[in-house]
Amino acid sequence: MTDKPTLTSTSGKPYPTNETSETAGPRGPVMMQDHYLMEKLAHQNRERIPERVVHAKGWGLQGEFKVTHDITKYTCADVFSQIGKTTEVLSRWSTVAGESGAADAERDVRGFSLKFYTEQGNWDMVGNNTPVFFIRDGFKFPDFIRTQKRHPKTNMRSPEAMFDFWAGQPESVHQVTILMSDRGIPQSPAHMNGYGSHTFSMWNAAGERHWVKFHFKTQQGHNWLSDAKAAEIIGKTRESYQEELWNMVEAGNFPKWTMNIQVMTEEQALETEYNPFDLTKVWPHDEFPLIEVGELTMNKVPENYFQMVENAAFNPNNIVPGIGFSPDKMLQARVMAYADAHRYRIGTHYEALPANAPKNAKVNHYHKDGSMRFFTNDFGNPNAYYEPNQYEGPVADETVAEPPLRIDPEAVVARFKQEEAEIDYVQPRALYAEVFNDEERDRLHKNMAGGMAPVSDSVKERWLAILKKVDPRYEAGVRKALETGNHGDPSLPVTDDTPLEVAD
Ligand code: NDP
């Protein structure tokens, strides 16, 4: 006898052994009736859910958000209702392109996702470590992601495809410049900012709407890795981010971020030279200064990675009363696509799992049955399974409705024209010419040349022409680094995949 609990099957039947199969005699074959063996092997076969098509490699922590400044004049969201109010948060940071076993220290954009378990349901801030993105229309997203993934024939990553796509999408140059700058390989998730990137809205108790952008500024400082340092780290460990986060939390050195918002009135949004709902644009700080809101502290490693991080399903459509969407086309595509991806990846009732279920709000809905229907929502009466009903089933609360949004009637029928425009070069030019210093520009040239080295001449020239429109020094610097081979270890994997010859 032992004090340890008895091992059982999933139906609760005690296991007689967890070491040997049941056989027909000591030397005979395995009995088909050994359902303990069958259950064990069958469960192993099902231990993985499909990995995310993007953002497959991730690291997560639990923690809390504390309000430090009053923004109730902008929003009636309960999460911001009082200075000092705290809300539990789950974070997941990720790389975009690599598979779930990819090395952490690769040059890539990082996902920066937060789930706030608010008293009005979960609010998910599903952002990146960059304030902009490569494209501004969800129609292009599958094409873009295909260029980041493996080539269908070589089964290797393809710089040719990446730069070919970017060269056909001049608005990408803002994000590519950030990706190839120092911030392209953060030392760890603790050493990078998070941005909601999209424009969202907030509305206050009087029903007044403002457009907002979310900024989470690292308090650990921006630390980044050069290509050479990253290659050295990856040679020693593929899990450098997981190790760093683990060590920080174990040592009580909890990573923190300061949350800020930028605010734009509806009237101002009609007047900006750039489209304030274009995900390839920032809002300049001098016109729209950061307004401090609170502090995020991530202080706990989840007890079980799979349960809390792999199962975590972040949705841009998880907003709460007082926070809303905007006409940002990428955001609108994500509002549909994320929930769809989670239903495929995890299952119909994925939001009933511990990582995703609201902790501080009651869930009442009429979605019944399907996979993972392990919760009860019959509202105390099994007849209350449709609406309207004469029983105690839940009813909608019209007081939480978003204030009406003025829309240009023509916008409803007009497709946005995807044309090259000078406005797409203004902000990358400001970043290159005014924000970066000479050393930063030099490293940018070399990082980009490293990434472009394996690319065909035709793609190189098309991309260099775009850099020239940003700033002639940019084009000249990258061209020189390409010609002299004076660049660090190429950050993007070097493959010999110049376009494949296709036989007639
Ligand atoms: P500011 O001079 O006020 O802002 C420049 C910002 O650049 C800094 O605040 C910092 O953002 C960011 N930055 C510094 N180094 C890097 C880097 N290696 N990669 C990416 N960003 C970096 O000017 P503006 O607000 O007018 O912006 C000028 C340009 O700066 C923009 O065109 C854009 O390219 C870039 N930028 C602007 C941001 C914004 O929200 N306005 C945010 C990030 C970049 P942070 O404070 O967020 O760390």
pLDDT in tens, the chain (504 residues): 578 999 998 999 998 899 999 999 999 999 999 999 999 999 999 999 999 999 999 999 999 999 999 999 999 999 999 999 999 999 999 999 999 999 999 999 999 999 999 999 999 999 999 999 999 999 999 999 999 999 999 999 999 999 999 999 999 999 999 999 999 999 999 999 999 999 999 999 999 999 999 999 999 999 999 999 999 999 999 999 999 999 999 999 999 999 999 999 999 999 999 999 999 999 999 999 999 999 999 999 999 999 999 999 999 999 999 999 999 999 999 999 999 999 999 999 999 999 999 999 999 999 988 888 888 888 889 999 999 999 999 999 999 999 998 877 766 666 666 667 899 999 999 999 999 999 999 999 999 999 999 999 999 999 999 999 999 999 999 999 999 987 754 444 433 343 344 343
| pLDDT, tens digit, 9 for 90 and up, residues 116-137 | 999 999 999 999 999 999 999 9
Residue 43 annotated among the catalytic residues of the structure = no
Residues near 366 by beta carbon (within 8 Å), at least 6 away in sequence: 385, 386, 387, 393, 394
The CA distances from residue 185 to 75, 79, 313, 464, 481, in Å, are 35, 32, 25, 23, 20
| Domain definitions of the chain by residue range | 58-162+186-348
Supply the pTM of this predicted model. Answer: 0.94
| pLDDT, tens digit, 9 for 90 and up, residues 244-264 | 999 999 999 999 999 999 999
Q: Which residues line ligand 1 (CB under 6 A)?
A: 131, 178, 181-183, 193, 282-285, 427, 430-431, 435
Pairing between strand 86-95 and 58-67?
A: antiparallel
- Reduced to 3 states (helix: H, G, I; strand: E, B; else coil), residue 190 is helix
CB-hemisphere CA count at 13 Å for 423? 12
Residue 128 annotated among the catalytic residues of the structure = yes
Tell me if 131 sits within 8 A of 435, measured CB to CB: no
Q: Give the CATH H-level superfamily of domain 58-162+186-348.
A: Catalase core domain (2.40.180.10)
Output the CA 352–ligand 1 centroid distance in Å: 39
Output the CA 218–ligand 1 centroid distance in Å: 14
Residue closest by Cα to atom 26 of ligand 1: 284
Burial class (CB in 10 A: 0-12, 13-18, 19+), 173: buried
What does the block give as tokens for 3?
């004090």
Tell me if 84 sits within 8 A of 99, measured CB to CB: no
| pLDDT, tens digit, 9 for 90 and up, residues 100-113 | 999 999 999 999 99
Q: Print burial letters for 465-497: b (CB count within 10 Å at least 16), e (below 16).
A: ebbbbbbeebbebbbebbeeeebbebbbeebeb
The DSSP 8-state label assigned to residue 486 in this structure reads -
The DSSP 8-state label assigned to residue 186 in this structure reads B
- Reduced to 3 states (helix: H, G, I; strand: E, B; else coil), residue 95 is strand
What does the block give as tokens for 162?
């990446």
**122, containing H or E segment:** strand 121-128
Q: Which pLDDT belongs to residue 413? A: 65
